[in-house]
Amino acid sequence: MRLQPSLDQDAGLEAQRAAIQAECKRRGRQLVDVIEDAGFSAMDLKRPGIKAALEVLEAGDAKALVAAKLDRLSRSMIDFTALMATATKQGWALVALDCAVDTTTPAGEAMAHVLATFAQFERRLIGQRTREALAVKKKQGVRLGRPASISPQLARRIRLMRTRGLTLQEISERLNREGVPTPRGGAVWRPTSLPAVLRAS
């Protein structure tokens, strides 16, 4: 359900629209379209407005994406970096009026690269925090990763084959010959996966 903008939102959108129109007029550029994402968060790029704009740019029907504010494009520096890479690859410009990002000028391109550097820093911080959190959980004895899922019947059958003296390699080969899917839907059983599967069953 698309939310209708409040009066404050409407006033903000009007100001942004006016700023973009004034900038296009100053540069002597034609404004192809104004696309708004009223009622949608700018946390990521999965919004109908930005998707529509990117389709127009990819088709070559516009030469630049102009935003009055960078945080209306995306509040994630990682998403912004991806957007900048797409702009470079497809040959269109990226302009954010509030923070001097303008990939058509040397200074604006430099500012974009500064933001990209912070995006890389953000990615590395997220990775570091994730690794540290996983290490703490591992020390606490928490089993990491998605648990394997196996039917009780198959688990009993594997245990029976094991008690009859079959090696893990032989069990894997038999299951593969019979086309039995792995717990995660794969087609190939490996000996190393069997102990974990049995422990989880």
62 neighbors 35 (Cβ within 8 angstroms) = no
Is 7 or 150 the better-scoring residue by pLDDT?
Answer: 150
Residue 64 belongs to what H/E stretch? strand 64-67
**Does 1 score more than 70 pLDDT?**
no
Instruction: Tell how strand 64-67 and strand 93-96 pair up.
Output: parallel
92 neighbors 62 (Cβ within 8 angstroms) = yes
The pLDDT value recorded for residue 90 is 92
The pLDDT value recorded for residue 201 is 55
Q: For residue range 3-62, what is the model confidence (pLDDT) as tens digits?
A: 333 334 445 778 888 888 888 888 888 888 887 766 555 556 777 888 888 898 999 888
Q: For residue range 77-98, what is the model confidence (pLDDT) as tens digits?
A: 778 888 888 888 999 988 888 8
Neighbours of 186 (CB within 10 A): 10
The residues, ordered by sequence, that sit 6+ positions from 71 with a Cβ below 8 Å of its Cβ are 42
Q: For residue range 163-174, what is the model confidence (pLDDT) as tens digits?
A: 888 888 899 898
The pLDDT value recorded for residue 7 is 37
Q: For residue range 129-139, what is the model confidence (pLDDT) as tens digits?
A: 888 888 887 78
What is 8-36 written as a DSSP string? HHHHHHHHHHHHHHHHHHHHT--------
Is 178 or 76 the better-scoring residue by pLDDT?
Answer: 178
Q: What are phi and psi of 37, to 5 degrees?
A: -120, 50
Is 141 or 25 the better-scoring residue by pLDDT?
Answer: 25
Is 149 or 133 the better-scoring residue by pLDDT?
Answer: 133
- Quick one: pLDDT band at residue 126, thresholds 50, 70, 90? confident
- Quick one: pLDDT band at residue 148, thresholds 50, 70, 90? low
The pLDDT value recorded for residue 40 is 59
